[in-house]
Amino acid sequence: MMNAPMTDIHTHILPFVDDGSDSIADSLRMVGEAMANGVKNIILTPHALRTGMPKFTKEDHCRHFSEFQTEARKHFDVNLYLGQEIAYHPQIIKYLQDNKLLTLNDSSYILLELPFFDPIEDYEELFYSFSVLKYNVIIAHIERYYYLSYGDIVSLKRYPVLYQINSNSLTGESGRYLRKRSMKMLKDGLVDFIGSDIHVSRKNDFHLAYQMVARYLSVADADRIFVENPKRHLNVA
Amino acid sequence: MFRNHKFSHKDSIIVATQPESVYAESFRKIPINIKYSRVDDEPRVIQITSSLSGEHKSTSAANIAAVYRELGHKVILVDCDLRKPSIHRITGLVNTDGLTDYLVGNTDYANLIKQTRFEIDVINAGNPVPFPHVALRSEKFKNLIAKLRESYEYVIVDSPPLLLVTDSLIIGEICDTAVFVINQRTTKKNAAKEAIRLLRESNIPIAGIVLSNTAKRIRRVSKYYSYKYKYTSKK
């Protein structure tokens, strides 16, 4: 086990606001599992702008977060932070301009989820708009968009974006294809963050993912991805 | 980590960013020539168009607007290229609350007009709509241009290429004159001729031609003509 506390930048632990958790008990169990995996800082990133999900405003998310944080502190010595996993939406720039969305821990970084089926037509325009509004973009689980070839993933990196992959893609929990793709990205230096994207039904394998990075790359690289990058970019402890 | 990516069209208002350059000087001649294309009734709503895309018409439109601003006039730049907008990038804006949003009623006049760091007011193209030519034929668009005509001394209208879509001819009906941009290195002679024929058939007066991206040998002849503006014909 490593010494420095790890940060999980992508979780659906916040109860009652998305498909992550429907009860405080489940959410507390998920926090406990994260801590058992060596995570000390957890950014709660409920879905925002996702089609088919109940619509919560950022004020709703803040209120739920505040309540849950109070509850969690009774049980764990953990640092909880708030963000959102913002799904791509044609009006996303307008929402950001109107300050209706949350960045990760009040930093300049947003966690962006691309569409799962219809590719965005104009990435250049999208990333241009983010840069004008001075938002930095972390693309959530970049390995999971099947319409993006590996070449596309490499090519998108020419824009000012950072990539997050899921720990269960790397560990093979989500299948061989995602494991292979994640490993290749890791070895090619394309991965900036690893998140658990934990939902109540998923197994937390964050520590195993850390061990894999340490084994296949180096301990220094694993520390960079799991500890230093979040600290450097997202103002976590 | 982050790569430095230069987004296209960024920093292309040369008149403002490199005011001493030869390019900027070439643009400064254009308003004079537009003025003398019709002395008694100076054109104030000026359409910028070209035959095909990639001929630097949006860059020309923005730089012409910048020259008017430099001369102390109140000017607005309107992006009517609803299919491939770029004025927002040239002026460092995001493409929200634009012309299409106004025409379909999603934004109002107060939110429509954006101030830029170049001191030029701008109307963005806005979100894509399925039939841009229908939006441009609307009474609301005509009324908007009429309102801008009252509020501004000059209205510079960036419009799409003539040979690809009919939008430019629709826009031309409510403008005072058109400036036609030719990319010296890429525009085919037949394309330019065909586009000018379309303008003439639609009775859209042409104030002149801007020759962009001129070849080095022309620039060697006279460094002051790297962007060359020539009077051609008028209605």
Its ipTM equals 0.84
Q: For residue A121, what are the contacts with CB-CB under 8 A and spacing of at least 6?
A: none
Among A72, A69, A100, which residue's Cα sits nearest to residue A84?
A100
CB contact under 8 A, B8 and A136: no
Q: Which residues of B touch A162 (CB under 8 A)?
A: 1-2
Query: CA-nearest residue of chain A to B95?
Result: A129
Residue pair B167/B159 in contact by the 8 Å Cβ criterion:
yes
CB contact under 8 A, B94 and A90: no
State residue A160's pLDDT score.
93
State residue B233's pLDDT score.
45
Task: Tell me the whole-structure pTM to 2 decimals.
Answer: 0.89
Q: What whole-number distance in Å separates Cα of residue B193 and Cα of residue B162?
A: 11
Average pLDDT over residues B136-162: 97
Q: What whole-number distance in Å separates Cα of residue A2 and Cα of residue A6?
A: 9
Model confidence over B162-217: pLDDT tens digits? 999 999 999 999 999 999 999 989 999 999 999 999 999 999 999 999 999 886 65
Cα A97 to chain centroid, rounded: 22
Nearest to B7 among A90, A97, A128 (CB): A128
Helix, strand or coil, per DSSP, at residue B115? strand
Nearest to A160 among B2, B8, B92 (CB): B2
Interface test with B, best of A93, A94, A121, A139 (most B CBs within 10 A): A94
Give me the residue spans of the domains in chain B: 15-229
Helix, strand or coil, per DSSP, at residue B30? helix
Task: Walk along chain A (237 residues) in steps of 10 and give the mean pLDDT of each run.
Answer: 82 96 97 97 97 91 97 97 97 96 98 96 94 96 97 95 97 96 97 97 95 96 96 92
What sign does the CA torsion over A139, A141, A147, A153 have? positive
Model confidence over B14-44: pLDDT tens digits? 999 999 998 899 999 999 999 999 888 999 9
Nearest to B3 among A93, A94, A157 (CB): A157
Strands A79-82 vs A193-195: parallel, antiparallel or unpaired: unpaired
Q: Which residues of B touch A193 (CB under 8 A)?
A: none
Q: What whole-number distance in Å separates Cα of residue A180 and Cα of residue A184?
A: 6
Crossing angle of helices A24-36 and A58-75, rounded to 10° = 60
CB contact under 8 A, A158 and B5: yes
Nearest to B3 among A93, A124, A160 (CB): A160
CB contact under 8 A, B89 and A192: no
Q: Which residues of B touch A91 (CB under 8 A)?
A: 127
State residue B70's pLDDT score.
96
Partner A contacted by B89 (CB < 8 A):
yes
Nearest to B94 among A132, A161, A162 (CB): A132
Percentage helix, strand, coil, to 5, in chain B?
Answer: 40, 15, 45
Model confidence over A98-132: pLDDT tens digits? 999 999 999 999 999 999 999 999 999 999 999 99
Compute how many other C-beta atoms are within 10 angstroms of the C-beta atom of residue A131.
17
3-state secondary structure A104-155: HHHCCEEEEECCCCCCCCCHHHHHHHHHHCCCEEEECCHHHCCCCCHHHHHH
Name the pLDDT band for B5 (thresholds 50, 70, 90): confident
Partner A contacted by B127 (CB < 8 A):
yes
Q: What whole-number distance in Å separates Cα of residue B78 and Cα of residue A102?
A: 32
* B212/B4: higher pLDDT: B212
Paired residues of A43 in beta bridges: A81
Burial class of A167 by CB neighbour count within 10 A (0 to 12, 13 to 18, 19+): buried
Residue pair B68/B77 in contact by the 8 Å Cβ criterion:
no
CATH number corresponding to B15-229: 3.40.50.300
Name the pLDDT band for B6 (thresholds 50, 70, 90): confident
Q: Which residues of A touch B127 (CB under 8 A)?
A: 90-91
Name the pLDDT band for B222 (thresholds 50, 70, 90): very low
Query: CA-nearest residue of chain A to B85?
Result: A125
Paired residues of A87 in beta bridges: A113
Q: What whole-number distance in Å separates Cα of residue B207 and Cα of residue B38?
A: 8
Q: What whole-number distance in Å separates Cα of residue A178 and Cα of residue A171?
A: 9
